[in-house]
């Protein structure tokens, strides 16, 4: 599936829709360059789960856990990961919550066999706020 969004509000709304449809044990790989809207998408996703607390990128903590929604959300940002052994992922990936992993291509070797991969891309020819969001079940 490919979705075009034309501003942060639309990217957030699509994230919210995905959050409303999230299933226990789902692992979502969220990829895209710096500044494409991964955190905006994640904030909408959290809202779709019913999480009402602020959601920010956990760049320096690797994972942030949110328990106030209908499912726990484990929000990973592995951009600065030095060693995969730094990640305590088993309980998150194989538990009853949803794992959303920014920069997942950096830890492909530990990902479960089946994941939902979301890639967000800019196309400046279509405008500064345009994003192409590709969703694939793998």
pLDDT tens digits for range 35-54: 999 999 999 999 999 999 99
Quick check: helix, strand or coil at residue 73?
A: strand
How does 88-113 read in b/e, with b if 16+ C-beta sit within 10 Å?
ebeebbeeebbbbbbbbeebeeebee
What is the predicted pLDDT for the residue at 87? 73
Q: Is the pLDDT reported for residue 83 higher than 90? A: no
In whole angstroms, what is the distance from residue 36 CA to residue 122 CA?
6
Q: 76: closest CA among 104, 110, 116, 37?
A: 104
């Amino acid at each position: 599936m490919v979705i075009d969004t034309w501003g942060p509000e639309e990217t957030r709304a699509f994230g919210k829709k995905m959050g409303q449809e999230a299933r226990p044990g789902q692992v979502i790989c969220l990829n895209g360059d710096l500044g494409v809207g991964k955190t905006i998408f994640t904030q909408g996703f959290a809202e779709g789960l019913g999480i009402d607390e602020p959601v920010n990128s956990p760049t320096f903590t690797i994972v942030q856990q949110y328990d106030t929604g209908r499912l726990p959300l484990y929000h990973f940002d592995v951009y600065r990961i030095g060693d995969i052994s730094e990640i305590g992922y088993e309980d998150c990936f194989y538990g009853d919550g949803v794992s959303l992993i920014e920069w997942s291509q950096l830890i492909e070797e530990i990902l479960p066999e089946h994941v939902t991969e979301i890639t967000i891309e800019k196309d400046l020819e279509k405008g500064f706020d345009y994003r192409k969001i590709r969703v694939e079940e793998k």
